[in-house]
Amino acid sequence: MAIALSMGALAFVITLVLGYPFVEYLRRAGLGKKVRIEGPSTHLEKTGTPTMGGILIVFSVLALTIALSLTLYRENGRSILLPLAVMAATAVLGWIDDRMSLVGSSGAGMSARSKFALLFLVALLAAVVLWNNPLSSPLPYGLGINYLFVPGIKNEIAIGWLIVPLACFGIMGTAHAVNLTDGLDSLAGHTAAVAFAAYGIIAQLYGQTYLVTFCFAVSGVLLGFLWFNAHPAEVFMGDTGALSLGATLAIVALMLGQVLLLAVIGFVFVAETLSVILQVGYFKLSRGKRLFRMAPLHNHFELMGWSQTQVAQRFWLVSMVTALLGVALALV
C-alpha cells in the first residue's frame, strides 16, 4: 500500500511538471474544442479551449505503470497489461473523435454509430481476454475471470461465459457515462479520481497489489490534470481522456469481480447517463415535453441557477460519499 500511495503522489508531481509544456503546445497548435451550441449559453465562452488533455493522462499512466511493473512486479504483474491495453486503445479512439471536433474542422466529431462500433470491438476483445483461461483453452492469453461478487454474499458467483456480455456492457456503458459527465470543468476528473481510489482500496482488500498501484497512479495523474482543468479550464480531457478512463475503470471493476459496485461507486456517472435516457424517452412519449431543463443532469442544475463550480463540487461530494458506501459494501 505504501508503494501505491507513493506512486499516486509521484504521478501527481510528474503530471504537474509535464502539464505546463503540454498545455502550451496544445494552445500553440490551435487544438481548440468546438462547443455545442445546444448546450447552456455560458459554455460558448469555452470555444477554442485546448482539448485532447487525455493524452497527458494516458501517457503518464502508461509510462508510470510500465516502469513500475518492469522494476517490481515483472512476471506477477502481467495481468495489468489488460487495463493498459484497453486504456491505450480507447484513448486512440477518443483522439480520433477529438481531432474531428476541433475548431475549424468540418464536422462535430465521429458519428455515434462509428464510435459505438469501434468501442464495441475493443470491449469484446477485452471481454474475451478477461474470460479466457489459457489452462483450459487453445488461446494462449487470458485471466480466467468468470465470476462476480454480490454485496452481502460471502463467496463469488460463477457466471461462466456470461462474463463476456456483462464485460462488454460494463466497458461501453462506463465509457459513455464518463464521456457524458465530462461537460463541466473538473467534473469528470474529480469523480473518476475518487472512483479509481475507491477501487484501489478494494484491490488492497483482495491483495491485488498491481491493481492497487495502478488505481492510485490513475488517481494521482487525474489530480495533476485537475490542476489545469479547474474552472476556468486551461485544457479539456476530451474523448481521449473520458472514453479511456471509463473503459479502464470498468476493466478494473471486472478484474476485481466487483463490477456491480460500479453503480454505487460511479453513482454520478450513472445519474448523468440515466438523465439522458429519461430525457429522451420522456420527450418522445410526451411529444415534445422535457423532464429536465437540459440533459445531462449537470446542465439541468446549471440552468436552475447553480454556478459551474457549485455543480462540479457538489457532484464531487456526492461521488465521495457513494465511493465510501461502495467500499463498505465490498467489505460486507
**pLDDT recorded at residue 165:** 96
> Cα 269 from chain centroid?
9
> Model confidence over 88-124: pLDDT tens digits?
999 999 999 888 877 555 556 678 888 899 999 999 9
Q: For residue 240, what are the contacts with CB-CB under 8 A and spacing of at least 6?
A: 51, 52, 53, 54, 55, 57, 58, 91, 94, 95, 98
pLDDT of residue 32: 67
Portion of the chain with pLDDT greater than 90, in percent: 55
Q: Where in the chain are the domains?
A: 2-262
Tens-place pLDDT, residues 7-39: 889 999 999 999 999 999 988 887 766 555 555
Phi/psi region, residue 296 (left: phi>0; alpha: psi -120 to 50; beta: rest), is: beta
Overall residue count recorded for the chain in this entry: 332
The residues facing 157 across adjacent strands are 148
DSSP 3-state helix, strand, coil percentages of the chain (rounded to 5)? 70, 0, 25
Residue 319 makes CB contacts below 8 A (sequence gap 6+) with 190, 191, 194, 195, 266, 267, 268
pTM as predicted: 0.91
- Tens digit of each residue's pLDDT (9 = 90 or more) over 161-188: 999 999 999 999 999 999 999 888 899 9
Region 188-213: mean pLDDT is 93
3 state SS of 50: strand
Q: What is the pLDDT of residue 207?
A: 87
Calculate what percentage of the chain has a pLDDT beyond 70: 90
The pLDDT confidence band at residue 223, using thresholds 50, 70 and 90, is: very high
Whole-number mean pLDDT of the chain? 87
Average of pLDDT values for 306-315? Answer: 91
Question: In this predicted model, what pLDDT tens digit does every residue of 41-95 receive, in sequence order?
Answer: 455 556 667 888 999 999 999 999 888 776 665 555 678 889 999 999 999 999 9
Bridge-based pairing of strands 147-148 and 157-158 is: antiparallel
Does pLDDT of 328 surpass 80?
A: yes
Nearby residues of 2 by Cβ (< 8 Å), 6 or more positions away: none
Using an 8 Å Cβ cutoff, are 55 and 242 in contact? no
- pLDDT classification of 298: cutoffs 50, 70, 90: confident
Nearest-angstrom CA–CA distance, 276 and 33 = 22
Q: Which residue has the cell 484501489?
A: 200
Mean pLDDT over 193-207 rounds to 94
Q: 24: helix, coil or strand? A: helix
Question: For residue 272, what are the contacts with CB-CB under 8 A and spacing of at least 6?
Answer: 177, 180, 181, 296, 297, 298
> Are residues 193 and 185 in contact, defined by beta-carbon separation less than 8 angstroms?
no
Angle at 292 between CA 291 and CA 295, to 5 degrees: 120
